[in-house]
Chains A and B, each alone.
Chain A
Amino acid sequence: MAVSFYGQDVVSPLMLGTAQYPSPEILRDAVLAAQPGVVTVSLRRESAGERAGQAFWSLIQELKVPVLPNTAGCHTVKEAVTTAHMAREVFGTDWVKLEVIGELDTLQPDVFGLVEAARILTEDGFKVFPYTTEDLVVAEKLLAVGCEVLMPWGAPIGSGKGLNNVFGLRAMRAHFPGVPLVVDAGIGVPSHAAQALELGYDAVLINTAVAKAGDPINMARAFRLAVEAGELARIADPMEERDMAVPSTPVAGKAMLA
């Protein structure tokens, strides 16, 4: 049941963000409880006095989970490409979660800039994980420029609304049967994660749903169980939906009592 990205197996279909936790200790314990296959990280300005980034880096190294740096907050191709290069040097990985944000209210990707940045970064040797929408035409273009993973949103980042367009996500799964697909953004509760895996998605990326829960550590554990349930359910081949009721208890042999 291993998930594989760019030829590298990861131990779980749960990808966990590291932002917004109440404390570094709770972040560490949440990661231990979630047992994610990947953790996402970012880059920000460093103060020589505080060296906050150095302490965070030590924590990440202790966790021994593969890291996926992001280009969060980038609104242009140039910003995203430069950030990716900086991240590659700092984190020592050519994986990058590519975000080119196009709209502030929804934080939806600028898909035109995304395709262009993905092309440039792939040519520069990066393995790009593009944060995209469920648009099939954009997805085709991302694959054409060299992406081998697609990460459509479930709902706007941090909204917790779950899978807003199940039809679109299902169509994407059907259209790209061999491409690793990750629902990134919008997942609010473990059942949303299980649903994504039941739909046939290979993984889910979650941050706010765990970090902003009242008890992030137990929520992390709940997500671990949810992705396991979703993955098992997919393998077990769910029944077909029906519009009308069909009795589950056999009618044959029922006593005539009317």
Chain B
Amino acid sequence: MKVVVNDTAHEVSAKTLAALIDELGYSGARIATALNGRFVPKATRNETPLEEGAQIEIVAPMQGG
């Protein structure tokens, strides 16, 4: 299935957002996620299915003013 993560296309086998996090190598990282512009809490990533063309954002702490 093709999905877009942080504006980059990926071909993945993951069926859920939680599986995608593991497949792309983010396991254990302090991150937050959004799917198609909507925040997905960590606790519900496992029950969040992915569909073809899904737009996923994965963010982490960064310097800010």
Interface band, chain B: 20 to 34
Name the one of A18, A47, A51 contacting B65, with C-beta atoms under 8 angstroms: A18
A90 vs B64: C-alpha distance in the bound complex, in angstroms? 14
Q: Assuming A46-B29, A89-B32, A90-B32, is B37 touching A56 (CB within 8 A)?
A: no
Residue pair B60, A208 in contact (C-beta under 8 Å): no
- CB closest chain-A residue, reference B23: A48
8 Å CB interface, B37-57 against A: 37-39, 41-42, 57
Contacts A42-B63, A90-B31, A157-B65 aside, 6 further interface pairs with beta carbons under 8 A come to A46-B31, A48-B24, A53-B60, A53-B61, A89-B39, A89-B41
Residue pair B58, A45 in contact (C-beta under 8 Å): yes
CB<8 Å pairs between A and B, sample of 11: A18-B63, A18-B65, A41-B62, A41-B63, A46-B26, A46-B60, A49-B25, A53-B59, A85-B32, A87-B32, A207-B65
Residue pair B63, A20 in contact (C-beta under 8 Å): yes
Q: Assuming A45-B59, A53-B30, A87-B32, is B64 touching A40 (CB within 8 A)?
A: yes
A27 vs B33: C-alpha distance in the bound complex, in angstroms? 27
> For A189, what are the chain B residues with a Cβ–Cβ distance below 8 Å?
none
Nearest 9 Cβ contacts at the A-B interface: A53-B60, A42-B64, A17-B65, A207-B65, A86-B32, A46-B60, A48-B25, A44-B62, A19-B63
A70 vs B64: C-alpha distance in the bound complex, in angstroms? 7
A52 within 8 A of B: yes
A72 within 8 A of B: yes
- Tell me, rounded to whole Å, the shortest Cβ–Cβ distance linking B61 to chain A: 4
- Tell me, rounded to whole Å, the shortest Cβ–Cβ distance linking B9 to chain A: 15
